[in-house]
Amino acid sequence: VRLFVEHPLTPSQPLPLTREQAHYLFSVMRLGEGAELTLFNGVDGEWRARVSEAGKKGGVLEPVERLREQAGPPDLWLLFAPVKKARTDFIVEKAVEMGAARLVPVQTEFTNSERIRQDRLQAHAREAAEQCGALVVPEVAELARLDRLLSHWDATRRIMFCDEAEVEGDAQTASGRFEDATGDGPWAILIGPEGGFSEGERKRLRQMASAHVAALGPRILRADTAAVAALTLWQTRFGD
């Protein structure tokens, strides 16, 4: 069992459990006193810990030894237009597994959903991080309008602009294509909604010096597939 906790992890500090955590560990996972599990908190690395008290409404864990030093994923954001609920959940889960550091739902011109359940998506991100061995839980940002985000864009963060209109690979951009990009620095991958990007959005992105256009092959991928494919391409080129 691997659990994210919001407490400092040191052997001198026993860790009280919330009711939900106690329910999960003792009723769902059936751990008892003396059982061992793995903890991380996004700051102190990964720890082996032991259950020192197990109750119905709470309990206490004891960090025993550090297993891994803290390390973060690369500075990579995933900007994605929310799609249907199950597919959005999939995007969040896979983005965490694929090493995105921050997930930013964006409202584009053709995005259908105007609301997201940020708390739900954040809980999915935490579960994915627990499951995949990540040492931090990526933040799921609030839904933001793409045009506003681009107006305040930090030019040092390059954008891998996944454009479904780019299957031919001959488009002109201010900064060139993703496959020609080199060097270090923060990145954001941008995936559009099922309806794709509008011509206005496309034009604006192509004029941005930080945006590098990327094609994901000759077929139109669904937004959730496109997110995984783009993360894979980015990791192959710039990941560790």
Give residues in contact with ligand SAM (CB under 6 A). Answer: 162-164, 166-167, 191-192, 194-197, 215-217, 219-223, 226
Comparing every residue's Cβ against ligand SAM, the nearest one is: 192
In angstroms, give the least distance from the CB of 85 to ligand SAM: 17
What tokens does 146 get?
């793409």
The CA angle 94-8-121, to the nearest 5 degrees, is: 25
In angstroms, give the least distance from the CB of 215 to ligand SAM: 5
In angstroms, give the least distance from the CB of 236 to ligand SAM: 16
- Using CA atoms, how far apart are residues 14 and 176, in angstroms rounded to an integer? 53
Q: Which residue lies nearer to ligand SAM by CB, 23 or 206?
A: 206
In angstroms, give the least distance from the CB of 218 to ligand SAM: 7
Q: Which residue lies nearer to ligand SAM by CB, 19 or 85?
A: 85
Helix axes 223-238, 85-97, angle to 10 degrees: 10
DSSP structure string for 9-24? --TT--EEPPHHHHII
Residues 6+ apart with CB under 8 A from 178: 160, 161, 212, 213, 214, 233, 237
Q: Which residue lies nearer to ligand SAM by CB, 127 or 164?
A: 164
